Amino acid sequence: MKVNIIRLKDNQRVESNIIKPNGLPLPNLGDGWRFNFEKHSKGTFNETFVLITDEMPQEIEGCLIFRLEKGEPYMAYIETAPHNKGASRRFDKVAGCLIAFACRLSFIHGEGHFKGWLAFDVLEMYKDDKVKLMSMYCQKYGAVKWGETTMVISPEAGERLINQYLESE
């Protein structure tokens, strides 16, 4: 799926794609990523997607693992590349595009009353980090806390994200 992310050094849109990895080596802990996508992608029901730019299609800007758990869409893992974190990050909108894409998948693959809903867990080592991350998901992406670590994005919030990050680009 075609998307646009923003190169921060010149505030320019960069044409990008969210695709299945198709031979690209998946990120792992040794590459400075927080999750070992190579290992986690091997799950039976996992679908792995990467965000790459048209300019540098061999470099992964973000990665997502999506799966259905008993008909419920679940965003198992999501991460932006280490060079897209913090104040000196290269690109903006990488996470938003991947989350919006996961919302789109929830409308396509969700079953019954789960159609359009997207669940995920925020698992941080420290409580303050978890609270901060959950707050960001609520404010930026319209997620709602559902239990101790679980959050959900409703179909309405998912549609807004799809329109903001995918269709309006």
Q: What is the mean pLDDT of the chain?
A: 94
- Which tokens go with 128? 């303050």
Which CATH superfamily, name and number, covers 2-167? Gcn5-related N-acetyltransferase (GNAT) (3.40.630.30)
Judging by beta carbons within 10 Å of its beta carbon (0-12, 13-18, 19+), is residue 167 exposed, middle or buried?
A: exposed
Dist. CA 11–CA 91, nearest whole Å: 9
Bridge partners of residue 60, in order along the sequence: 52
pLDDT at site 163: 96
Lowest mean pLDDT among 10-14, 40-44, 98-102, 120-124: 40-44
Q: How far is CA 123 from CA 7, 91, 129, in A?
A: 29, 24, 9
pLDDT at site 81: 97
Bridge partners of residue 92, in order along the sequence: 6
| pLDDT, tens only, 136-168 | 999 999 999 998 899 999 999 999 999 999 964
Contact criterion met (CB below 8 Å) for 63 and 78: yes
Bridge partners of residue 4, in order along the sequence: 15
Q: How far is CA 85 from CA 8, 82, 110, in A?
A: 12, 6, 31
Q: How far is CA 74 from CA 31, 38, 53, 67, in A?
A: 25, 18, 25, 5
| pLDDT, tens only, 75-125 | 999 999 999 998 899 999 999 999 999 999 999 999 999 999 999 999 888
- For the cut 50, the answer to whether the pLDDT of residue 169 exceeds it is no
pTM equals: 0.94
